[in-house]
Amino acid sequence: MRQAIWVLIAIVAVGIGFIGGRLSAQERAAIERLQAQIQELEQRVLALASAPPPVVEVPQPAPPESSSAPTPLKIAVVQVNELAMRFQQDNPALQERVRQKTAEIEQELRRIQQQMQSGAISREEAQVRALQLQQELQQQLLLAVAGPIQAAVNEVARELGYDLVMKHEDVVLYYKNAVLDDITEQVWARMERLR
């Protein structure tokens, strides 16, 4: 476009120079107006070439009227380790159950040791069985303590309307727009009622 304007200016200038002496005052005025228009057009073209591209705004669809902003989750934490310690210390029935299970496992361990000494089972097999018994005792203890804690957490969370309950011991480094309530004492109160 810019080159076309320069070619037009050159043609007009040559034409004016060629017939310059033969033009009337009126024709010269018309040519001067034409030159001024060409210069103005050239300035516009230069301005458009150096201007940033226009910003085209794309209309965004309106959100549906029925939808609303999402509500933040209601989140709580529970100090599970503390509840487990309290539950074990304050629970003679649990302590008796653990004592009985420990006695059963100790008796089974003595039987396994006798089998190993008599050659009925190998040392490796005895170790595997002993490990299984130890894991069974840990599992029994875990269920005996964790079961009531989980039941109490479920009830309190439903009643208070929590969307998520985490162990306090878990580490949350960042969560936007949420307050973490500690409901350990409410859970403990529920556990005491459930006993």
Confidence class for position 7, pLDDT limits 50, 70, 90: very low
Kindly tell me the burial class for residue 44, based on how many C-beta atoms sit within 10 Å of its own C-beta (0-12, 13-18, 19 or more): exposed
Confidence class for position 18, pLDDT limits 50, 70, 90: very low
Mean pLDDT of the chain: 75
Do 163 and 75 meet the contact criterion of CB atoms below 8 Å apart? yes
Phi, psi of 119 (to 5 degrees): 90, 5
Please tell me which residue, 32 or 133, carries the higher pLDDT value: 133
Cα–Cα distance, 152 to 185 (Å, whole number): 11
pLDDT at position 103:
87
Cα–Cα distance, 56 to 59 (Å, whole number): 9
Phi, psi of 43 (to 5 degrees): -65, -40
Mean pLDDT of 97-113: 87
- By DSSP bridging, strand 164-167 and strand 180-182 are unpaired
Place of tokens 């969307």: 163
36 pLDDT higher than 60 = yes
Cα–Cα distance, 105 to 102 (Å, whole number): 5
pLDDT at position 193:
80
Rg for the chain (alpha carbons), in Å? 45
Token pair for 81: 């380790």
Least confident of 38-52, 109-123, 151-165, 175-189: 38-52
Q: Is the whole model's pTM more than 0.85, yes or no? A: no
Cα–Cα separations (whole angstroms), residue 192 to 176, 186, 187: 34, 10, 9
